[in-house]
Amino acid sequence: MRIELTDEQIKKKDEFKEFVDTSIIPYAKDNDEEENMNPEMLKKVIESKYLGAPLPKEYGGLDWDQITIGLLNEQFGRGCSSAKGLLTVHGMCSLAILKWGSEEQRNLWLPKMAKGEAIGAFALTEPNIGSDAKSVETVASQVDGHYVINGHKKWITMGQIADIIIVFAKLEGKPTAFLVEKGTPGFSVKPMKKLLGSRAAMIAELTFQDCKIPIENIIGFPGGGITHVALSCLDYGRYTVAWGCVGLAEACLTDSLKYARRRKQFDAPLRKNQLIQKMITEMTVDVEAARQLCYKCGYLKDVGDPDSIVDTWIAKYYAAKMVNRVANNAVQIFGGNGCYNEYPIERYLRDARINEIIEGTTQMHEVLIATNSFVRYS
């Protein structure tokens, strides 16, 4: 397995870092406090064409390899978790259309999504349904040559601004995926505020009340919503979340190193304190270990190894737990300043916590990984 980055990947990583430093980080604090994605920042993200990273060039995408996509998400995670969330769900929606959509759907939506002219979202979770995705309560029925959807979705990232949403509903009792456009009659959006972290991720509750969509808006096939569409999307989502955790943890580590150098206690910089050194050591090793797991995932995906699915579970599980350990240590190093929004550390901690829930909770990943291990090592 190749560990080192290619010259092109190194060049891209530097490019991503500069973009995040100049076009993401300056907006991150206000994004969090205002619980809104700054329009100017969103415009810069769209102009960068990064939203087309996973899409083929025939649709106007960048057609980047998985390692490069990972590096992009790492840097966005370092700068703003909410901005990273945009990359994740937009990618999940566009890849669902690419893999499972009809030719007409691909030709209509993918060029727009590659350019950022249409923002995508992924609506699976409901008020009563989270990890048990196959039990979605939203229903769809075929009426007079249309599908009619009724139900609710909750915690939908970018739901407030999405132009096209992959919605999962039961059709004749079988979970199925559909495309629903913004502005469709019977479809309404309610912003969700006062969240713990990722406050600018434009999270929303969606309501479908006799929402009529064209028969052509089915994605994949009846009954394939979870087993085919959702699982392939979630695999991409988990991969990008893992990389985002690495980036967020790196931000915690970098800020902690700077603070420990300049902050003095007992007539000596914090960096001289052995207990602080212990925390810095643990943070450094944690970040590097998670990064290596992500590299392995990206490599396996690029060579088409089916084990990449399991390794994505492992990377997401470890990275999500890791970033919380690192963020906790960062707050401890900053002391009281780590609990005050004059510094970004308290935001890092709140954002970190979200990662053990999204794209599969830590506990669900423990079930998946353990079950696979009993088979793999029996």
Out of 222, 251, 275, pick the residue that ends a domain.
222
- End-to-end Cα, the chain, rounded Å: 25
pLDDT grade for 377, boundaries at 50, 70 and 90: confident
1 belongs to a structural domain = no
In whole angstroms, what is the distance from residue 160 CA to residue 296 CA?
34
Q: Which domain holds residue 151?
A: 121-222
Cα dihedral sign, 271-272-278-282: positive
Answer yes or no: 356 catalytic.
no
Q: What is the CATH number of the domain that holds 182?
A: 2.40.110.10
pLDDT of residue 125: 96
Out of 60, 90, 118, pick the residue that ends a domain.
118
Q: Are residues 251 and 362 in the same domain?
A: yes
**Amino acid identity of 45?**
V
Out of 72, 92, 118, pick the residue that ends a domain.
118
Does the pLDDT value for residue 131 go beyond 90?
no
pLDDT of residue 2: 67
| pLDDT, tens digit, 9 for 90 and up, residues 248-285 | 999 999 999 999 999 988 888 899 999 999 999 999 99
56 belongs to a structural domain = yes
| pLDDT, tens digit, 9 for 90 and up, residues 24-63 | 999 999 999 999 999 999 999 999 999 999 999 999 999 9
Can you list the alpha helix ranges (DSSP code H) found in 197-273?
A: 231-262
Residue 251 makes CB contacts below 8 A (sequence gap 6+) with: 77, 78, 79, 344, 348
Does the pLDDT value for residue 376 go beyond 90?
no
- Strand 204-214 and strand 146-156: the pairing is antiparallel
| pLDDT, tens digit, 9 for 90 and up, residues 75-125 | 999 999 999 999 999 999 999 999 999 999 999 999 999 999 999 999 999
Catalytic residue among 103, 216, 359, 366: 359
| pLDDT, tens digit, 9 for 90 and up, residues 284-339 | 999 999 999 999 999 999 999 999 999 999 999 999 999 999 999 999 999 999 99
Q: Are residues 132 and 186 in the same domain?
A: yes
